[in-house]
Structure formats: C-alpha cells, structure tokens
C-alpha cells in the first residue's frame, strides 16, 4: 500500500472549502497576507507561512481540516485567539486552523460549570459568569484566549485560592485527534489526554474544541492596594513577602517600572473576599508584616473587579512589538540582583519585568509540573522594527543569566522562538517524557506541528 500523502492540486483546494462552514485561504490568495498579519496579537511580523489558513466556524470544520491536512501531508497548527508572544501557531508549510470564531459559552449555574469553546476570551467568560454569581481564574489580559491559556496551565486571576493553576479547574474537554475522531476526555475517559490538556502547552497533538470548567463563586469584594520602593530594595522586598507568607486569596505582584530617571519596584496586591472587612484583613496580612520603611504605601483597599484587573494589565502593554520570557525560581533575591544589573541596559524603557508570588501550590497529577515560588516574566516591548534585534539580544542575555537561578519556566510565556531546544525546562523530567511519549502514540504520523518552533 502506498502511504505517501496525495499531492494537492488546485482542484483539491477548490473543493476543500466547499465542505467548510468557515473559509480557507491559500498562500496564493489576495487576502492571505491580511489573514496572516491579523492572526497575531503581537505586532511583530513572523516569517513563518502556513500554506493554508482555515477560519473554522464549526466543530465539523475542525474535522474536515484535519482530514484534508492528513491526506495531503500538511502539518496542522492551531490558533485560539493568537496571543502567543512567539506567534507559535505560525509554522511554515502547513495548515493553520484558526478557532477564534468558535466562541460559544454555556453556563450551568446549578452545577457551577461552564462549557466554553476555544475562541472565548477572558473577558467574555467573566462577563458570562458574573450574572450567575460565578467566576473563573482567567488570564489577566481581557482579550487573552482561554484555550491557549488553559492548555499551558494558566496563571489566572486569584490563582492561588482557585486551584494553583487555572487548568486544574478543567473538569473535562472535547477534542479532535490526528485521526479526526471527536473524543470526550476527563479523569475517567481518555485520562492520558485529559492529563496532557492540563498544562501540556502548545503542540499537544490534538485540537481542543470545548472545555468544561469548574467555576468559583464570584467574590463579592475585590480590592487592590499598592506601594513602591527603589529597585535596589527589590531583593529585600521579595524576601519580606516570602517571610510574610501571604494568604492564598491575596494575589501579590511586583512590576519594575520607570520612576523619574530610574526604576522602581511597584508592589500591588489584590484581595478576593466576601466582605470589605475580610479584604482589608487580607491586605493587612501582608502590609503589616513588611519591615517598617521598606515600601512607601500609595493606595490601600481600593475597589477593584475583573474588568479593572483586565484594564490594569492591558495598560502595562503599550507597544506594538513584543518578546517575552520567564523563569520560576525559589531564589528571589538572586533573581532581583540579576534584574537590577540588566534593566538599566534595556533598549526600550517600556519593557517591564513582572514578579508574581506563587508560593508552593500542590500540583495534581497533570502535565503542568513547573515549580518555583516566584514567577519572573519580562515583557520586552518596543515599536520600531529596527529595534527587534537589540531587544532580542537583551532579553536573551537577561534570561540566560536568570536560568542559573531557575527551578523551572512557564510554557505560555517561555520564549519558544529563542529557546525551543530548551522547552523541557517547563516540565518535570518525568512529565516531559510522558508528554513526548503520548504525542508519539496519539499522532504517530506528525499530523500536528511540534511544540518546538522549527520542528515538524
Ligand atoms: C496581553 C497578554 C496577557 C496575558 N496574560 C496572561 C496571564 O495573565 N496568565 C497566563 O498564564 N498567561 C497570560 N498570557 C499568555 C497566554 O496564556 C498565552 O499567550 C496563550 O497562548 C494565549 O492563548 P491563545 O488562545 O490566544 O493562544 P494562541 O496564541 O492562539 O495559541 C498558542 C498555542 O496554543 C495551542 N492552542 C491554542 N488553542 C488550542 C486548541 N484549542 N487546541 C489545541 N491547541 C491549542 C497551539 O499550539 C497554539 O500554537 C498573556 C498573553 C498576552 C498577550
């Protein structure tokens, strides 16, 4: 039997879109360039060109596209809402399956559950849940896609009180594998695929078409406090936060931002509570334990909300072009010293490091397995193409050095363009081996692109 894929001729491609509810464009189509450009949230142009882009309008479109790709030897890459900083769904010579139009949300308030399609954003989900008094630990940017976010683990709003990582709130998912079959996976059915979907990251070897999410009661009182200190005291601040051991319902974040001619560490905390009194107590649990004079308070117990958090996070990302990298580390003070040495050299003053206190979440048996009490991510951002290379080099040098104090990295903000060869850093060794083996078994013919950019 000849197993070689069929070559595509113009007729094949003319017929294929007729089976779709959505649309498809080949590289030769006049609209392709616009579709390629619009696929990425990041304003940088990625020189990786799929042969076809399909904008799916139905789950059947996903099956047809996988079938077409398999028959013709095209590797499939998948786009949720295109927020990957590395544009990792853009790959050469394959078929890009864009799921962003699949954005249905069904809420079952009695079961405290939401069934969500992959094109749904953080803000859309929060808005659908709030009228039912429910919430979900979405990403902090309102437009961030839930599907890429969840499949990579998801460091969401109020994540410490709500499961550690958002993916641990996944009850089940529907997915379509390399053979085009639609499966329902949960702890009992296809448990290996369910295991992989909880934090396995991009390139899993299947397309998730629906997520069944366990939701949380919407906290009646969300408040924020803020304070700042000099960059030279960042290490001391991190150690003080560690000693204070903040309660899970207090989210603690420190951004390094410009201040006058220099830089400062801006501490912000978010409390998720039922009453104003409880929220005050959460903030006080941290602020009352910081050494006197370490930070200068700016605001205390200010009303906040999911929408306010989305806007605050969006206000941090002000440029058109981005690169992002991160480490997870237990050595906060050393990471602070490395940041302080590299930040004055940054080519763009808009670039911001963000440090988030994770504590030590208890990890269930799931693909997500990266450890480290501090999440240290840097959003290099600038506007002009001519500055691409300087920013790339600066971020690489910073994270080459931070890797020396890292205990892991978070796949969704890992620089897959620069570090695809090191992607196993994002997983415990046994989990990485299990993910690779699972992928080999589920997708033996490589119907889907690999997580590593540059590898099929
Ligand atoms: C402004 C901004 C704010 C962010 N905030 C946070 C945050 O607070 N917390 C956090 O953890 N992360 C955050 N991120 C990172 C975010 O989690 C990732 O960028 C994530 O990939 C976004 O999801 P997406 O659906 O847009 O992914 P896409 O960019 O569309 O896809 C990325 C990859 O995910 C895989 N994928 C996506 N959907 C599917 C699917 N349905 N089936 C199979 N594979 C799929 C594909 O391999 C794809 O290549 C943020 C990113 C941005 C740009």
What average pLDDT does the structure give for the chain? 96
Contact 370, 406 (CB under 8 A): no
Which among 78, 326, 355 is the best mutation to test ligand 1's pocket, defined by most ligand atoms within 8 Å of the CB?
78
Predicted confidence (pLDDT) at residue 1 exceeds the cutoff of 70: no
Three-state SS annotation for 39-105 = CCCCCCCCCCCCCEEEECCCHHHHHHHHHHHHHHCCCEEEECCCCCCCCCCCCCCCEEEECCCCCCE
Q: Of 3.30.930.10, 3.90.1150.180, 3.40.462.20, 1.10.730.10, which CATH number belongs to 221-426?
A: 3.40.462.20
pLDDT band at 260 (very low <50, low <70, confident <90, very high): confident
Pairing of strands 95-98, 321-329: unpaired
Report the CATH fold assignment for 10-98: 3.30.43
Ligand 1 within 6 A of CB of 304: no
Ligand 1 and 77: CB distance under 6 A: yes
Q: Tell which atom from ligand 1 comes closest to the C-alpha of 81.
A: 26
* Span 5-62, pLDDT tens digits: 666 666 677 889 998 999 999 999 999 999 999 999 999 999 999 999 999 999 999 9
Q: The domain 105-217: what is its CATH number?
A: 3.30.465.10
For ligand 1, whether the C-beta of 41 sits within 6 Å is yes
Given this chain, do its domains 10-98 and 105-217 carry the same CATH topology? no
CA–centroid distance, 139 to ligand 1, in Å, is 9
End-to-end CA distance of the chain: 24
Tell me what the mean pLDDT of segment 184-210 comes to: 97
- Other beta carbons less than 10 A from residue 428's beta carbon: 16
Query: In 3-state terms, what secondary structure has residue 23?
Result: strand
pLDDT digits (tens, 9 = 90+) for 413-443: 999 999 999 999 999 999 999 999 999 999 9
Ligand 1 centre from 228 Cα, in Å? 30
Report domain extents, the chain. Answer: 10-98, 105-217, 221-426
Output the DSSP codes for 405-417.
Answer: G-SB--GGGS-HH
Any alpha helices (H) in 136-233, and if so which ranges?
146-151, 191-197
Q: What is the pLDDT of residues 308-359, one digit of tens each?
A: 999 999 999 999 999 999 999 999 999 999 999 999 999 999 999 999 999 9
> 166 and 159 in contact (C-beta within 8 Å)?
yes
Q: Does ligand 1 have an atom closer than 6 angstroms to the CB of 154? A: yes
Q: Which residues are CB-contacts of 41 (< 8 A; sequence separation ≥ 6)? A: 81, 82, 83, 84, 143
CA distance readout (Å), 106 to 129, 280, 288: 9, 34, 43
């Amino acid at each position: 039997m000849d197993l070689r894929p069929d070559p595509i001729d113009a007729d094949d491609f003319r017929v294929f879109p007729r089976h779709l509810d959505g649309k498809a464009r080949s590289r030769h189509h006049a609209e392709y360039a616009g579709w390629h450009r619009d696929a990425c949230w990041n304003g940088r142009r990625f020189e990786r060109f799929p042969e076809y882009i399909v904008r799916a309008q139905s789950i059947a479109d996903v099956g047809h596209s996988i079938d077409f790709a398999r028959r013709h030897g095209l590797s499939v890459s998948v786009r949720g809402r295109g927020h990957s900083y590395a544009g990792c769904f853009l790959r050469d010579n394959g078929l890009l399956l864009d799921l962003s139009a699949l954005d249905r949300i069904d809420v079952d308030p009695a079961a405290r559950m939401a069934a969500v399609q992959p094109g749904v954003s953080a803000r859309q989900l929060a808005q659908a849940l709030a009228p039912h008094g429910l919430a979900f630990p979405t990403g902090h940017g309102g437009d961030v896609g839930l599907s890429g976010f969840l499949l990579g683990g998801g460091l969401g709003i109020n994540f410490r009180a709500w499961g550690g990582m958002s993916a641990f709130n996944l009850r089940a998912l529907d997915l379509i594998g390399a053979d085009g079959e639609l499966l329902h996976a949960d702890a009992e059915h296809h448990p290996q695929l369910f295991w992989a979907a909880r934090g396995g990251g991009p390139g899993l070897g299947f397309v998730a078409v629906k997520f069944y999410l366990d939701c949380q009661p919407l906290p009646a009182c969300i408040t924020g406090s803020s304070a700042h200190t000099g960059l030279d005291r960042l290490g001391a601040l991190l150690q003080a936060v560690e000693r204070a051991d903040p309660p899970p319902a207090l989210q603690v974040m420190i951004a390094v931002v410009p201040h006058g001619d220099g830089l400062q560490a801006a501490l912000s905390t978010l409390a998720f509570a039922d009453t104003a009194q409880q929220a005050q107590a959460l903030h006080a649990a941290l602020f009352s334990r910081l050494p006197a004079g370490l930070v200068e308070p700016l605001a205390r117990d200010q009303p906040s909300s999911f929408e306010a958090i989305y806007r605050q996070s969006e206000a941090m990302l002000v440029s058109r072009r981005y690169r992002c990298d991160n480490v997870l580390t237990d050595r906060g003070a050393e990471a602070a010293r490395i940041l302080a040495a590299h930040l004055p050299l940054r080519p763009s003053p808009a670039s911001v490091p963000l440090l988030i206190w994770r504590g030590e979440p208890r990890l269930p048996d799931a693909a997500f397995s990266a450890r480290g009490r501090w999440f240290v991510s840097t959003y290099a951002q600038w506007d002009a193409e001519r500055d691409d290379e300087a920013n790339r080099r600066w971020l690489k040098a910073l994270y080459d050095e931070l890797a020396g104090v890292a205990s892991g990295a978070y796949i969704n903000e890992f620089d897959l363009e620069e570090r695809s060869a090191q992607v196993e850093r994002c997983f415990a060794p046994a989990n990485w081996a299990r993910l690779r083996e699972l992928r080999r078994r589920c997708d033996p013919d490589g119907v889907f692109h690999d997580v590593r950019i540059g590898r099929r």
